[in-house]
Structure formats: structure tokens, C-alpha cells
């Protein structure tokens, strides 16, 4: 769930480098490798996470060269709270 589809698309496409499959105001699909990431629009921003709130899903990625990926994403403007 996302509260701002355009901002979310910019993050996943432009910052993380996912490929766009389909986009609309209420549903967008991006892909990375064999995985499809779907964004559902219309969520609201609130403290805490409840059904319908923006950001009610989290996931992680495994990469072979974490330092290289860190450098690339940092150059794209991402901020990290920790790096493992």
C-alpha cells in the first residue's frame, strides 16, 4: 500500500533500478529478476501500521556484493540506517 504512487514509482524504478511492467494511479507492477513487486495506491499515511495504511509491508533483498550495492544506492540518494 502506498500513499503517493508517483513518488513510490520513482523510488523503486529510479533509485532501486526495478523495471516497470505496468502503471496506473491505483496499481503498479515493477520487476526485479523473476520477482514482481506490486504497489497498491490509495493508502493513507498514519503513525503505526494498520490495514490500509501506507507502508504496511516490508521485505528484504539478498545481494552478493553488499558494499557495491550500498555504494550504488547511496549514489542514487538512498539513506541507510544500518548495513549488514
The proportion of the chain whose per-residue pLDDT surpasses 70, expressed as a percent, equals 76
Q: What is the mean predicted confidence (pLDDT) over 1-18?
A: 91
* Burial class of residue 3 (count of CB atoms within 10 Å of its CB; 0-12, 13-18, 19+): middle
Delimit the domains of the chain by residue range: 5-75
- pLDDT tens-digit series, residues 19-29: 999 998 889 99
Pairwise pLDDT comparison (30 vs 34), residue with the higher score: 30
Q: Give Cα separations from 7 to 34, 56, 62, 63, 64 (angstroms).
A: 23, 16, 24, 25, 28
Rounded-to-integer distance, Cα 56 and Cα 48, Å: 9
- pLDDT tens-digit series, residues 32-71: 888 888 998 876 766 555 555 565 566 667 788 888 989 9
Amino acid at each position: 500500500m502506498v500513499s503517493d504512487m508517483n513518488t513510490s514509482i520513482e523510488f523503486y524504478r529510479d533509485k532501486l533500478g526495478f523495471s516497470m511492467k505496468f502503471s496506473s494511479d491505483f496499481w503498479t507492477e515493477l520487476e526485479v529478476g523473476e520477482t514482481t513487486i506490486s504497489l497498491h495506491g490509495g493508502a493513507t499515511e498514519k503513525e503505526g501500521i494498520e490495514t490500509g495504511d501506507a507502508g504496511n509491508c516490508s521485505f528484504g533483498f539478498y545481494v552478493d556484493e553488499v558494499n557495491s550495492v550500498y555504494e550504488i544506492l547511496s549514489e542514487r540518494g538512498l539513506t541507510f540506517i544500518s548495513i549488514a
